[in-house]
A = this chain, B = another copy of it.
Amino acid sequence: MEKVKIIFVGLGGRGYGLLKDVCQMEDVEIVALCDLLPDRVERALKLVQEQKGNTPVTSADYKELFATVKADAVITPSAWQAHAPICIDAMKAGMYAATEVGGATSIEQCWELVRTSRETGMPCMMLENCCYGEFEMAVFNLVRKGFFGELVHAEGGYRHDLRAEVALGHERHHYRLDNYKRRNGDVYPTHALGPIAKTLDINRGNRMVSLVSIASKARGVNRWILDNRGEEFENAREPFALGDVVTTIITCANGETITLTHDTTLPRPYSRNYVIQGTKGIASEDANFSISIEGLTPQNDSWDPNEWRPMKEYYETHGHPLWKAYRSAGVKSGHGGMDYLVLRAFIEAVRDKTDTPIDVYDTAAWMAITPLSEDSVACGGKPVAIPDFTEGRWLTPRPVVRGKYCLDEVCEEAFEGITEL
């Protein structure tokens, strides 16, 4: 079997982690490595040599690699603002493009992703690992089987205490610091939005139409620096642009609302606060990853008739078949196993020469929420229209690539007789 040849662009903490996952895959060859920092390239090179036995080409210039190295796909866990340009250049060089999560820096950039993909025929996939989370996929499975009735509302967010990562961004070469200093909006919307969008059929019979975005004041990072590094540390008293909590409400063509929260510079336990609500039931991460569904979970005759039940009680009977197969094969490391799944989803699409389960329209629409959120915040919460990157293709059925990693439908037939992924 011919191996899938991959170029990795971006080898920081996240890039190195994904590289480790990919090195475990026997059907993948790492043919080139790229980062602006030589020590990162060195560390990654050593890993590939040890794990895979070959010596990839290395460079600090990804364009040079794209022009000279023959590969099937590019994976880019680079800084947020580099994702789109690298993906565009990868597709122009005839390769599949996979971008780590993160928002766009302009709407034009999202259009360029779409245009380039259509002109080159090369897919572009955001590696939104949370689309493959066990809880999110079980909710998706229940939704597709009708348990939630008609969907009405969803919530989610990225709520994670990253004060140290932001404050120490320059010494750790992390892109968050410069973004947080100057931008104000939901800079990281996709961990919740990805699975919500797939569940709500966004770009396939539905689309995101408009949003409003409001930011709180920014106090968390300054306070953290003063308390942990003192007055003399950089940015101790200089203001940050990014509000500590940015709340966005998206309206969809079919009337659903999506509330997103970006909340990364205050002390708090981690949560993506995933919520899906329909006319027959609700799922909620913050309620201890629970569901309450008419006809499935218990009800009573009190003033509060619906009861929560932990989703884990239903994984055996109502979990997504991908996770049942994954559990029996053995869950791999990396954010609770999601990283392996999203990487396999991409690699197998490259191998099979199909479109990716998260396609370029999904990628563009999800990334676009960031600059649109910035626009709305800048205008005091004004409603902002969300472009239709499909240019009307959402109105009529588009072909679905069925299979184990499909995020549009639950493809039971792909798991018949399967005990390993």
Interchain CB contact under 8 A, A304 and B216 = no
Q: Interface stretch among A1-9, A108-116, A126-134, A377-385? A: A377-385
Instruction: Kindly state whether residue A390 has any CB partner on chain B within 8 Å.
Output: no
Instruction: Kindly state whether residue A149 has any CB partner on chain B within 8 Å.
Output: yes
Interface string of A270-297 (1 = CB under 8 A from B): 1100000111111010111000111000
Interchain CB contact under 8 A, A223 and B284 = no
Determine the chain B residues whose CB is within 8 A of the CB of A278 once the complex forms: 266
Instruction: Kindly state whether residue A64 has any CB partner on chain B within 8 Å.
Output: no
Interchain CB contact under 8 A, A247 and B244 = no
Knowing A219-B279, A294-B267, the reply to whether A161 touches B306 (Cβ < 8 A) is: yes
Q: How far apart sit A288 and B285, CA to CA, in the bound complex (Å)?
A: 12
Knowing A216-B257, A223-B149, the reply to whether A268 touches B249 (Cβ < 8 A) is: no
Interchain CB contact under 8 A, B267 and A216 = no
Interchain CB contact under 8 A, A212 and B249 = yes
Q: How far apart sit A270 and B141, CA to CA, in the bound complex (Å)?
A: 25
Instruction: Kindly state whether residue A407 has any CB partner on chain B within 8 Å.
Output: no
Interface residues on A, range: 35 or more
Determine the chain B residues whose CB is within 8 A of the CB of A215 once the complex forms: 257
Interface string of A194-221 (1 = CB under 8 A from B): 0000000000000000101011110110
Task: Please report which residues of chain A, range 243-270, place their CB below 8 angstroms from some CB of chain B when the two chains form the complex.
Answer: 243-245, 247, 249, 251, 254-257, 259, 261, 263, 266-270
Determine the chain B residues whose CB is within 8 A of the CB of A288 once the complex forms: 288
Interchain CB contact under 8 A, A153 and B210 = no
Knowing A214-B249, A219-B152, the reply to whether A304 touches B270 (Cβ < 8 A) is: yes
Instruction: Kindly state whether residue A237 has any CB partner on chain B within 8 Å.
Output: no
Interface string of A290-317 (1 = CB under 8 A from B): 0011100000000111111000000000
Determine the chain B residues whose CB is within 8 A of the CB of A251 once the complex forms: 214, 381
Determine the chain B residues whose CB is within 8 A of the CB of A303 once the complex forms: 270
Instruction: Kindly state whether residue A181 has any CB partner on chain B within 8 Å.
Output: no
Q: Is the interface of A mostly helix, strand, loop or mixed?
A: loop
Instruction: Kindly state whether residue A150 has any CB partner on chain B within 8 Å.
Output: yes
Interchain CB contact under 8 A, B287 and A277 = no
Instruction: Kindly state whether residue A160 has any CB partner on chain B within 8 Å.
Output: yes
Q: How far apart sit A160 and B302, CA to CA, in the bound complex (Å)?
A: 12
Knowing A152-B219, A247-B259, A257-B245, the reply to whether A277 touches B266 (Cβ < 8 A) is: yes
Q: How far apart sit A293 and B311, CA to CA, in the bound complex (Å)?
A: 28
Interchain CB contact under 8 A, A152 and B216 = yes
Determine the chain B residues whose CB is within 8 A of the CB of A255 once the complex forms: 216-217
CB<8 Å pairs between A and B, sample of 21 = A152-B216, A152-B217, A152-B266, A153-B244, A161-B305, A212-B214, A214-B251, A214-B257, A216-B255, A217-B256, A219-B279, A223-B279, A266-B282, A267-B279, A267-B306, A269-B287, A269-B292, A270-B303, A288-B288, A380-B383, A382-B383
Which 6 A-B residue pairs are closest in the complex by CB-CB distance? Answer: A217-B255, A153-B245, A216-B257, A223-B279, A286-B286, A270-B304
Chain A residues proximal to chain B, CB less than 8 Å: 149-150, 152-153, 160-161, 210, 212, 214-217, 219-220, 223, 243-245, 247, 249, 251, 254-257, 259, 261, 263, 266-271, 277-282, 284, 286-288, 292-294, 303-308, 380-383
Known: A212-B214, A214-B251. 9 other contacts (CB 8 A): A152-B219, A152-B266, A212-B249, A214-B257, A216-B257, A247-B249, A263-B277, A267-B282, A269-B306
